[in-house]
Structure 1
Amino acid sequence: RVVLIEQFRAGAFAHTPESGSPWLVETVAGRIDKDETAEQVARREAEEEAGCVLQQLHRIGTFYQSPGATSEQIHYFCGIVDSSQAGGIHGLASEHEDIRVFTCTRTAALAALADGRVSNVTLAFVLQWLSLNHEQLRAGAA
């Protein structure tokens, strides 16, 4: 199963009449603090935002978000978790997070991408990667 999160996004709220709900389905994500590695952030954010402990962490890659406008890079990972207990509301009160965690099948997630229900590029990218690599993940080779 795929573990996803849903949270309110101010940018989406500004365009809600045109683009739908300001509550976006996303992957777990976070900023790298000083003296942290991208891998440490992936593990920390999985616990904070989804209540999941990563059993394995597979690096997808590092990419520029919008190189014409910013030097920001995003580090993408695929984390393997026990999804049987995933769900509920998570996030840090200090960060005013109200994050709903849910699971769905890989097929359902990819169907949402195919029919336009995925509205953010990070989730679209990660789901496409999963589509290409799920067999290697199952075999333990990704």
Structure 2
Amino acid sequence: MKDLVETTIASKLVYEGKILNLRVDQVTLPNGREGSREVVEFSQAVAVVAVKEDNKVLLVKQYRYPVGEVLMELPAGKMDQDENPEQCALRELQEETGYKPRSIQKICDFYTTPGFSSERMHLFLATGLTEGEQSPDEDEFVKVEEVPFDQAIQMIFEGKIQDGKTIAGLLAVEKKYR
């Protein structure tokens, strides 16, 4: 595999933001030539497939400015600096939906868009849910939807669910646990 590895020659931070950084790296390519790579640095994140006793999955509707649309998504968010993935999953589920699980288990983790971003997503399944009160961040506006699990799967193929982490999460649970 060493014949595929690119080696960093130089790195320049172009933008430092509140939730992400952008850097441009000069690299030596496997063929010995030089190239340029633009990298979005982003913290790790979590997404939670929360399934109620009645087999309904909790989804949130949220306006996503970069795409200019309201999307239907799994509860999710970025990890704080001192958080582990499970702590973050529990926090995000409660903040966005108000629910707390009796059981939470990690399904998998994956890179969301490794062609330009370092973001690593940790995916969890939450069950035994107890309803509580939402406490979203002050700049976060979400509406919780309870959707029968089979209908959520169908919504993927109808183009009604277009968010990548949500598609991956629902299909992973469908394959592994159903």
Which category describes the TM-score, using the shorter chain as reference length?
A: 0.7 to 0.9
Match of 2:83 among 18, 36, 40: 36
State the number of aligned residues: 123
Matched residue, 2:113: 66
Task: Judging by fraction of residues, say which structure has more helix.
Answer: 1
> How many angstroms does 1:44 deviate by?
0.5
Q: Identity across aligned pairs (percent)?
A: 27
Deviations 1:20-53 (A, max 9, x none): xx11100011111111101000000111000000
Task: After TM superposition, list the pairs within 5 Å mapping 1:110-129 onto structure 2.
Answer: 110-129=153-172
Match status 1:10 vs 2:65: yes
Task: After TM superposition, list the pairs within 5 Å mapping 1:1-142 onto structure 2.
Answer: 1-13=56-68, 22-82=69-129, 85=131, 90-94=134-138, 96-135=139-178
Task: Judging by fraction of residues, say which structure has more strand.
Answer: 2
> How many angstroms does 1:93 deviate by?
4.9
In 2, Cα distance between equivalents of 1:122 and 1:30: 11
Structure with more contact order per residue of length (Cα contacts < 8 Å, sep ≥ 6): 1
- With normalisation by structure 1, the TM-score equals 0.78
In 2, Cα distance between equivalents of 1:93 and 1:46: 12
Amino acid paired to 2:88:
V
Matched residue, 2:47: none
Amino acid paired to 2:101:
L
User: Quick one: structure 1 residues 131 and 36, their matched pair in 2 at CA, closer, same or farther if it must change by over 3 Å?
Assistant: same
**Gapped regions of structure 2 (runs ≥ 5):** 1-55
User: Quick one: structure 1 residues 118 and 93, their matched pair in 2 at CA, closer, same or farther if it must change by over 3 Å?
Assistant: closer
Q: Answer whether contact 2:62 2:141 (CA < 8 A) is retained.
A: yes
Amino acid paired to 1:2:
V
The Cα RMSD (Å) is 1.9
In 1, Cα distance between equivalents of 2:85 and 2:137: 23
In 2, Cα distance between equivalents of 1:38 and 1:93: 18
In 2, Cα distance between equivalents of 1:93 and 1:64: 25
Higher radius of gyration, 1 or 2: 2
Q: Answer whether contact 2:95 2:137 (CA < 8 A) is retained.
A: no
- With normalisation by structure 2, the TM-score equals 0.63
> How many angstroms does 1:68 deviate by?
2.1
